[in-house]
Amino acid sequence: MATEATQGAEMAGHGAEHAAETGGLVFHPMDQFIVKPLFGDGAVGMFTITNVTLWMAIAILVIVALMVLGTSRRAVVPSRSQSVAELAYGFIHKMVEDVTGKEGLVYFPYIMTLFMFIVVANFLGLIPMSFTTTSHFAVTVVLALCVFLGVTILGFVKNGPSFLSMFWVTSAPLALRPVLAIIEIISYFVRPVSHSIRLAGNVMAGHAVIKVFAGFAGLAIISPLSIVAITAIYGLEVMVAFVQAYVFTILTCVYLKDALHPHH
């Protein structure tokens, strides 16, 4: 987090320079991702309460409100919040069952937690002036590493050393198998990298593009066009926010399936 803060500060310096040069752009598109302490102006340390902490806490509160309060009445005819909660639950439950099979359902609570956190954090980030926690690699790398370590340990616990047979492709000719094994091992260890960077990269890129178009709105000639573009991209971002949470979750399911059944 500390390094990110310094990076953010550098970006801010960059932005100020830029504004001085052109005179039009008063903010930098990457300024929105700066991690700031909520109280005071000190450096960001390990336990500093920052805007990231605040928006993560808000995400947790929203999820609890939706899932606990929404379903507490247990109405036969569901209210709006109850049907959203039921839809989300049914959607993820079906996804886990379809991809990993019946025995994967034991891990459903973890996958549901992942999905709810990412989707709510993404949607909260779309509120103007809010902070998008999932746009930071520090956040998504932790999520992806938890999945990667958990799935690897689970694979060894469930299958023992035969889990390594996942890298030895028996359907290929014998001469090709060592080469394939190297490729498989590399692709296995790239998983947490692509898993985390996909989410953070998509969310960050979308938000930066919105801010770039917002910068164009300062020029009187193209401001109507730029406002239309912001609206259109915002609509796209609403979709991306959901699709990226879905992709993160379904890839978790795929990795889990590989750990439970390494032989196909």
Instruction: Give 14 or 73: the residue with its C-beta nearer to another protein.
Output: 14
Please report how close the Cβ of residue 201 comes to another protein at its closest, in angstroms.
4
Residue 58 CA neighbour count, 13 Å, CB half: 17
Helices 80-100 and 223-260 cross at an angle (nearest 10°) of 50
Which residues of this protein are in contact with another protein, per CB under 8 A? 7, 10-11, 14, 30, 95, 98-99, 194, 197-198, 201-202, 205, 243, 246-247, 250-251, 254
Contact 197, 143 (CB under 8 A): no
Please report how close the Cβ of residue 195 comes to another protein at its closest, in angstroms.
9
* Torsion sign, CA atoms 109, 240, 210, 5: positive
Angstrom distance (rounded) from CA 207 to CA 200: 11
Please report how close the Cβ of residue 135 comes to another protein at its closest, in angstroms.
12
Instruction: Give 133 or 202: the residue with its C-beta nearer to another protein.
Output: 202
Please report how close the Cβ of residue 11 comes to another protein at its closest, in angstroms.
6
Please report how close the Cβ of residue 198 comes to another protein at its closest, in angstroms.
5
Instruction: Give 12 or 164: the residue with its C-beta nearer to another protein.
Output: 12
Instruction: Give 21 or 74: the residue with its C-beta nearer to another protein.
Output: 21
Instruction: Give 4 or 86: the residue with its C-beta nearer to another protein.
Output: 4
Please report how close the Cβ of residue 10 comes to another protein at its closest, in angstroms.
7
Please report how close the Cβ of residue 137 comes to another protein at its closest, in angstroms.
9
Instruction: Give 19 or 250: the residue with its C-beta nearer to another protein.
Output: 250
Instruction: Give 74 or 102: the residue with its C-beta nearer to another protein.
Output: 102
For residue 130, give the DSSP letter: -
